[in-house]
Amino acid sequence: MFKGLQHLEWLDMSFTGDIWGLANCGQTLENITNLVTLNISNCRISNIPPEAFKNQKNLQYLDLQQNTISTLPTNIFQEQKYLQYLDLSFNNLHSLPGGIFITCNSTNLSIKLKGNHIGSLPEAMFSLLHTAVELDLCDNDFHHIDASTLTVIQNVSIINLSGNPFECDCELAHFVNWAKSHETQVVGWNNNFTDGFNVTNNDYYRCNGKSLENFDEYCHSSTAEYLVPSLVVIVVIVAFVVGYLLKKTVKRHRQGYQNIVGSDQEPLPITKHYKYDLYVIHSSEDLEWVQILTAKLEVEGHYKISYPDKDFVLGHTIFKNIDNFLEQSRTILGIISTNALNSPWCCYELERARTLEIEQRGDHKLIPILLEDGELLLKHMETKEYSYAIVHLIQNKTNLEWSEDGRLEPEYWKRLKKDIGKPVVLLEGQA
């Protein structure tokens, strides 16, 4: 379809029926490589294959409203670096994948999601997006604003939340306090509450007709009402736990056991089975340096290292491969340079690795290695907006600042191998 129209820039396929839902929909647009504007609204589209827009790299305006789309592939817009307007209003979306706009770097981006069933947003949704974002979430299903959603909201230029069935309780307090001081950034949040029946969950609104803007009075009275009983419960639980621990301690001493703090005990066992010792996050422009690093670690440290070029599973999305191999690697080395900071993929990997380290605590370790002076890297980061996780790696986390001519110095290698620890994966030929 559309052969010989490779120079077509504007296409309106609205109200064309369910042709977009056919299995060959990716081929529908494959010959139109210069599309700038595409309207496929009101087409009864229910599913979009991951590679549906792979050839539309110049696409700036995409209208998908008034369909029945329920899910979006994570990498659906990975080729649309210049996307400026996306309308997904009045579909059947309940959630959005993290990193869906990871490669978009247009100056301005307007996203319309009105009239869906979305109740929360993934934290990484705009974490790498260096642009001004307008987000319309009117008439969705937000009852509360959780931590990940608030992170997204704080990083967009303007967001509309009118028409959402917020529940008037103290869980909204943090969001309300923030919204009051950012009135030009978040709109429509303070007129969502009226007396009436919530057909979504068959429950009555709890705010007695108050606007969200004034609900703190209700929150305070509720807090006072439940504070005393809650304190009683907490005291009972603490007393039970203390009694239990004392009983266990006495039992240990009677059996002749002691807990010797600071003795030369074996480190705590790894609680998770890993396929690799190391995963190395790096820019392709630093590959020569990384090859020297990994070769020495494999030979001298006997570490099993995962290599994306040969280990990533064919057919899987890059996002899925990255997440899987980060999970399967005991230690992640983050090679941070200007090249890495300029790479959206490196930034995504660093964020995911930091998240794993926090969530799984001792089971995952992220070691930052700086190839350039830390102060210079921080200065470079002032030119763009980076997530807190990446800034934290350079500014607050202990790292190894490894200059190019210092990589062969013995103390650098000794310290690195010490911090990585002993291999947890046996290589072929090892007992």
- Whole-structure pTM value: 0.50
Of 249 and 324, which is predicted with more confidence?
Answer: 324
pLDDT of residue 348: 84
Hunting for tokens 């949704």 — which residue is that? 125
Rg (CA), the chain: 26
High-pLDDT (> 70) share of the chain, %:
70
Over residues 171-193, the pLDDT tens digits come to 777 788 888 887 778 877 665 54
For residue 93, pLDDT beyond 90: yes
pLDDT of residue 266: 39
Over residues 56-74, the pLDDT tens digits come to 999 999 999 999 999 998 8
Band of the pLDDT at 225, cuts 50, 70, 90? very low
Residue 91 carries which DSSP code? S
Of 27 and 76, which is predicted with more confidence?
Answer: 76
For residue 221, pLDDT beyond 70: no
Band of the pLDDT at 268, cuts 50, 70, 90? very low
Of 274 and 234, which is predicted with more confidence?
Answer: 274
pLDDT of residue 109: 85
pLDDT of residue 416: 84
Q: In the predicted model, what is the mean pLDDT of residues 82-94?
A: 93
pLDDT of residue 90: 94
What number of other Cβ atoms are within 10 A of residue 175's Cβ?
A: 22
Nearest Cα neighbor of 134 from 113, 157, 152 is 157
Strand order in the sheet with 305-306: 305-306, 276-281, 329-336, 365-370, 400-401
Average pLDDT over the chain reads: 75
Band of the pLDDT at 19, cuts 50, 70, 90? low
Hunting for tokens 């007129």 — which residue is that? 191
pLDDT of residue 243: 66
CA angle 224, 227, 229 (to 5 degrees): 130
Of 294 and 203, which is predicted with more confidence?
Answer: 294
pLDDT of residue 215: 57
- Helix, coil or strand: residue 225: helix
pLDDT of residue 261: 28
For residue 169, pLDDT beyond 50: yes
Band of the pLDDT at 206, cuts 50, 70, 90? very low
Hunting for tokens 């959603």 — which residue is that? 149
Q: In the predicted model, what is the mean pLDDT of residues 239-265?
A: 46
- Helix, coil or strand: residue 76: coil
Cα dihedral across residues 49, 55, 60, 61: positive or negative:
negative
Over residues 325-345, the pLDDT tens digits come to 888 888 999 988 889 888 888
Over residues 28-46, the pLDDT tens digits come to 677 888 899 999 998 888 8
pLDDT of residue 191: 58
pLDDT of residue 400: 81
Of 147 and 27, which is predicted with more confidence?
Answer: 147
Question: What is the rounded distance in angstroms from the CA atom of residue 7 to the CA atom of residue 343?
Answer: 30
For residue 290, pLDDT beyond 80: yes
Of the listed ranges 78-92, 107-121, 210-224, the least confidently predicted one is 210-224
